[in-house]
Amino acid sequence: MATMTPAAPRPLIAGNWKMNGTLQAGLAELGLLSDRIKSTRGLPEVVVCPPATLLHPAVLALAAFGAAQSVGVGGQDCHAEAKGAHTGDISADSLRDIGCAYVIVGHSERRADHGETDAAVEAKARAAHAAGLTAIVCIGETLDQRDGGRTLDVVSRQIAGSVPAGATAANTVVAYEPVWAIGTGRTPTADQVAEVHARLRADLVARFADGAAFRLLYGGSVKASNAAELMAVANVDGALVGGASLKAEDFWPIVEAKISR
C-alpha cells in the first residue's frame, strides 16, 4: 500500500500589535485589511492580536466588515488560572467569551519583562487549551546564545518546557522569534531560519503523533521586503508579525507571501 504524504499545514499570518493602537485607528486598519481579504482567493489563515482594550471591538468590527470568517482575533497573553484574585490579568476563558480564537503565550517580551519561565508559559498554554483557544507558543534565543552557538539547544529546551503534553496541531502553533531580531531590523539568514525550524519540526515529530502538522511561524523584523524569502523557507508555515502588522498596507504584502496560487 502506498504511503500517504501528510498534507501541508494551512499557513498562518498573525499580527501582534503589542501596546499600540487606538480604537478609531485600529478599526480603520481592520477595515482596510478586510477589503483586501474579501477580494482575494487562496488566503492563509489571518489573525490579529490587538491590545486587550480593542479585542471585543475588533471581533465586532470584523463581523460588520464581513471578514469574521477570514480574520481571527487573538489575545497577547492570558493568565494560567481561569479566574481569581489576579488584578490586571485576563483569563483564557474571558478571551474566548468575547470572541477570541487565539492567544499568544511566552513572547520574549513577556519572558524578559515579566520573568516568565518555560513552566509558566506551559501553564498558560494549558489554560488556553482548556478554554478552547489555540495557543501561539513563542520561543527564541538571545544574541549571546546565538553567538555562543547554543541556539538549537535553547530552542529545543524551550519547546520541550513550554508546549504542554496534551498539545495538538489543532490547538497549538509554535512561533520562533530570535530575541535579537525583534524590533531591531535585523533578521537571521534563510539558512539560519531553516536550521532552527528543521530542529523544531524534528522535536515536534519525536514528541507528538501529529508533529508534522504543527504550524511553525517565523517572527522577528518580518516586513514586506523580506517576507517572500522567509515564507519560502522549509518548515516555515507563516509569520508572527510585530510592527509591520499595525498598518494594513504593510501587513498585506506579508499575507500575500503565503497566498496559494
The residues that are catalytic are 107, 177
- Rg for the chain (alpha carbons), in Å? 17
Closest CA to 77 of 27, 29, 127, 30: 127
Give the relative orientation of helices 248-256 and 224-231 as an angle to the nearest 10 degrees: 20
The one-letter code for the residue type at 181 is A
Asked whether the beta carbons of 142 and 155 are under 8 A apart, the reply is no
Q: Quickly tell me which residue has 502538522 as its cell.
A: 213
